[in-house]
Amino acid sequence: MKYLIVLFASLTMFSPLFLTGIRRYTGQKARRALGANIASFFACLILAAVLGFGGSASAAGESAAAAAGGIAEGLKYIGAALAVGLSGIGGGIAVAAAASSALGAISENEKAFGKALIFVGLAEGVALYGLIVALLLLFA
């Protein structure tokens, strides 16, 4: 089972390279590659959850409290990863929109530099808040 998880994780990790190569030769849009990457991520997540919750013969002898602590510990790490990942994606989208608008405003009026810098900093703060939430989940 461990080899199956490693094989599936490596295929998930290298699938963007294969999809990029296929897209260059066929001319397909990037939307299909993104959809395939998202689908393979969730498939890997579900596979890891099923195999992780299934347990093994050595885990059957452990007490129920220790098993519940293991699941809680794993869910804590998943929550921290989701907090950092999703806030990073949201912060990236917000910075992309705010920075391009700020550059346009600065090119028209140089006095708008201070306000534009504040808006870009606020957009980047979203990612920092996600990191702080993840640190609180891990260490509190």
Q: Are residues 50 and 67 in the same domain?
A: no
pLDDT digits (tens, 9 = 90+) for 59-91: 545 555 555 567 888 888 888 999 999 999 999
Q: Are residues 73 and 130 in the same domain?
A: yes
- Written as one letter, the residue type at 1 is M
Domain coverage including residue 89: 63-140
Q: Are residues 71 and 122 in the same domain?
A: yes
DSSP 44: H
Domain count, the chain: 2
Percentages (nearest 5) of helix, strand, coil residues in the chain: 90, 0, 10
pLDDT digits (tens, 9 = 90+) for 84-123: 999 999 998 989 888 888 889 899 988 888 888 888 888 8
134: domain CATH number is 1.20.20.10
